Amino acid sequence: DAGVTQSPTHLIKTRGQQVTLRCSPKSGHDTVSWYQQALGQGPQFIFQYYEEEERQRGNFPDRFSGHQFPNYSSELNVNALLLGDSALYLCASSHTSGRSYNEQFFGPGTRLTVL
């Protein structure tokens, strides 16, 4: 098992463009969470997908949207890119079991640079 995989590794875009990032969860996991990590900061929760629906959302504008597919993989879409969207985007997967915290396993991240 390769664990959580993300693509692409790096991405350069210009302001106003749109971007799609992809994530494949660890085998056996059904839940995907996305985090944004700006330089020098800790990861910030964007949203989480379970059963192909957004289950929880952090404090991010509607420009950030996502999707989960029947095979549990997920996409993060960001529209109308701003310079401030430049960051490392982390995907984390987990297996939902009960209502307590389920350990999240992180991918290597996608480095997005907005020029």
Footprint of another protein (CB under 8 A): 3-4, 31, 33, 35, 40-45, 48, 55-56, 58, 90, 94, 96, 99-109
Work out how close the CB of 66 gets to another protein at its nearest, in angstroms, rounded to a whole number.
Answer: 14
User: Are the C-beta atoms of 13 and 113 separated by less than 8 Å?
Assistant: yes
| Residue 80: partners with Cβ closer than 8 Å, 6 or more residues away | 16, 18, 63
The two tokens of residue 115 are: 């020029």
Q: Which residue's CB is nearer to another protein, number 81 or number 87?
A: 87
Question: Least distance to another protein from the beta carbon of 53, Å?
Answer: 13
Q: Tell me how far apart the alpha carbons of residues 73 and 4 are, in angstroms, rounded to a whole number.
A: 10
CB of 99 to another protein, least distance (A): 6
